[in-house]
Structure 1
Amino acid sequence: MVEIVLEELKKNNLYRKLKTIEEVDGVRVKIGGKWFVNFSSNDYLNLAFDKTVANEHIKCLKNWGTGAGASRLITGNFQIHEVLEKELAKLKKTEAALLFSTGYMANIGILSSIMGKDDVIFSDKLNHASIIDGCKLSKAKIFVYEHNNTENLKTLLERERKRFKSACIVTDSVFSMDGDIAPLDELFELSLKYDTYFVVDDAHATGVIGYSSFEIFNITPAENTVIMGTLGKALGTFGAFVASTETLRKFFINKARSFIFTTALPPHIACATLYNLKLIPERMEKLKKNIELFQKLTGFKSKTAIFPVVVGDSQKALDISEKLFKSGFIIPAIRPPTVPEKTSRLRITLSAGHTEEDIINLTDTLNKLI
């Protein structure tokens, strides 16, 4: 059975293999003894592999050790965790925040705890897999609305909301495969009007379009608001967090199984993240300049650091990716089920670590290939 599935994947150009990185220096990675420029990382602010930043992180490692030793509710709750949570809450302008081990665990923890079998969830069609799985785990009734289509959502809310005890609207803020931004202002108003939770995955927005996606819409989080953010993308470390009211924080501590039944985030990671938070403003400015340069050179448009080049056919996407690899660039082909059928693409992501020369060289290569 397993062999048949693997053969089917190969036949449909959907089989995946791992590329082994032997060494890394900022946006440059070494594979098979050769150096490449990485244009597909989520390390948007170039913090994950910055050696000057790493020197500061070593101090955290010496002070806090390598692991947490237990779950937060046993003996894994360290003061440094709570200090970071307070800073992350400030970042999102909420009362409180709670650390999770990954963004995936945070999303399934949020949705499976606040929603149940008598409730209803309204989810964007292009939401991340972790949101989709969290919806399923909740056992709530799920309605999927057309991507970023608030009129479609409003129709569903008008028709279905009153039949259920509790409700939730959930969306990515920045969609990871398209780089577009959800109409958060309209969604927020709908959540208030129809008395629903408003859950926003801010993973690809935090430190990219601001400290929070809510900033660009001038939204102040309400009692019904839950914002998930990650530490492993622009913030350059590892883990995730949920920003909300203090009451919801206490609720997640007691009811979110993906928080309760797992070892705590290593305290040295919390320490390193606190250091990285100080570097965000300057790095965001550098990223913004790189985005503007890439737009100017290519004509591609994006309000974020994600630039999808949709080619449709999976084999064609693989071929272009391989040619880019031979030219010295890491830009893997993104294929179904990560993206919908017939929308295979190259997903180009920019970093504050890219030089002007890197961006010009990539543009010249793309012009020859596409």
Structure 2
Amino acid sequence: MDFMRKEIEELIGKKLYRELREIETPQGKRVVVEGRELLNFSSNDYLGLAKEFDCECLEKWGTGSGASRLVCGNFKVHRELERRLAELKKTEECLLFSTGYMANLGVISTLAGKGDLILSDRLNHASIIDGIRLSKAEKVIYPHRDWQFVKDYLKKNRKEFNRCLIVTDSVFSMDGDIAPLNELFQIKDEFDAVLVIDDAHATGVVGWSSLELFNVEPDKRTVIVGTLGKALGTFGAFVCGSKVLREYLINKCRSFIFTTALPPFIACQTLKNIEKVPERRKRLIKLINFFKKLSGIESSSAIFPYIVGDEEKALKLSEILLKKGFLVPAIRPPTVKESRLRITVTSEHSEEEVEKLWREIKGG
């Protein structure tokens, strides 16, 4: 097993080594790490809902689900949440998954296979990339947000394949920018394709759905994947789309069929958190606009990339901020091409706290 130690030493030499940092308090804008209270500017808990809890949910549903949903783990509250999410996403139906990774992995590998084509944005999440690999479909990685490339490629090659999927994050997790969904929506109609949108970082931040930004409503060839563990503050994931899509995934999707169901108390808590989203989102949008103006960093979401470029510099700046009382980890390859600080703001942060962070970054 010496290969493991050798590869770890190589990562250390390249400043790409990673280690876990223990947080001793609930998730929030302030967390305690190794006995120190830090202002947290790295969380995906965009609306500050992760520390919310309702004892009624635990008392009613308990902590576990007991089995997969097709065995005896399918609870009434699961269905209530699915109907609510479908309503918010403006789709016919919805299906809960245990994690966002499993949702992307399962949906993509179930909807496409040999003889099919998948076009994927170069900056899509790792779960999308792995779902494409598992599908064994022909893959084309198109330049970031380049809808014209997608259209030109399909004009030349669409007839060579059976089914076609266009897959994209809506809000990209490391850059905070938004996919050209309006154009991709039109392209999927023109070329008889299915558009798969990962709304993980969009849900509850840019609206209930990223398609709202373009005044577009999903149709039967639109699949929307999302997570509960970011702005909605709990855990798990969902896939929204047509009625036949839900039925098909229940019967064919391995990452749904062969896994323990989401604990029902989490579905219950998510329903309660959803009711708190509109008011908190107003505060978040106000802070996003404030930080955008303050920093000059272009972003259409709560994610602000501060590009450093060099792994060692990114680590050093992150450590300086840590000493000053800010938790902003360095993000390095292979997660991103250019090393950076990935700054996230939440509805809990104040303008004064954001200003303080920016002063320290510029001073560092």
TM-score between both structures, scaled by the size of structure 1:
0.97
**What is the match of residue 344 of structure 2?**
349
CA deviations on 1:124-177 (whole Å, 9 max, x unpaired) are 111100000000111100011111011111121112211011110000000000
For residues 137 and 112 of structure 1, the distance between their equivalents in structure 2, rounded to whole angstroms, comes to 6
Q: Aligned ranges for residues 284-363 of structure 1 at < 5 Å?
A: 284-340=281-337, 343-363=338-358
Residue among 70, 85, 101 paired with 2:67: 70
- Corresponding residue for 1:19? 21
Q: Report 1:29-178 matches (<5 A).
A: 29-49=31-51, 53-54=52-53, 57-178=54-175
- Secondary structure (helix, strand or coil) at the match of 1:352 reads coil
Structure 1: unaligned runs, 5 residues or longer: none
Post-superposition offset of 1:367:
2.1
Q: 1:218 to 1:25 in 2, by over 3 A?
A: closer
Deviation at 1:297, TM superposition (A): 2.1
Runs of 4+ in 1 over 6 A off after TM superposition: none
TM-fit CA distance, 1:25? 6.1
- TM-score by length of structure 2 reads 0.98
Query: Is the 2:27–2:50 contact (alpha carbons within 8 Å) kept by the matching residues of 1?
Result: no
* Stretch moving more, 328-337 or 349-358: 349-358
Aligned match of 2:360: 365
The letter of the residue matching 2:261 is: A
Q: Secondary structure at the match of 2:219?
A: coil
Name the SS for the 1:62 alignment partner: helix
- Once residues 19 and 166 of structure 2 are traced to their aligned partners in structure 1, the CA distance between those partners, rounded to angstroms, is 35
* Residue in 1 that maps onto 2:12: 10
| Structure 2 contact 227–235 (Cα < 8 Å) conserved | yes
Q: Percent identity?
A: 57
Matched letter for residue 181 of structure 1 = I
d(CA) in 1 for partners of 2:166, 2:288: 30
1:301 positional shift? 2.3
Q: Does the residue aligned with 2:115 lie in a helix, a strand or coil?
A: coil
Q: What whole-Å deviation, never above 9, does each CA across 1:279-319 have from its counterpart, x for those lacking one? A: 01001001011112212222222110000011111011000
Q: Secondary structure at the match of 1:263?
A: coil
* 1:229 corresponding residue in structure 2: 226
> For 1:310, what is the secondary structure of its paired residue?
strand
2:317–2:361 Cα contact (<8 Å) kept: no
1:202 corresponds to which of 183, 199, 202: 199
Task: Structure 2: state its 5+ residue gaps.
Answer: none
Q: What code does the residue aligned with 1:82 have? A: R
Cα-Cα RMSD: 0.8
Distance 2:158 2:313 in 1: 43
Distance 1:146 1:156 in 2: 12
Given candidates 244, 249, 253, the residue that maps to 1:247 is 244
SS of the residue corresponding to residue 166 of structure 2 reads strand
Matched to 2:251, the amino acid is N
How far apart are the structure 1 equivalents of 2:300 and 2:67?
A: 41
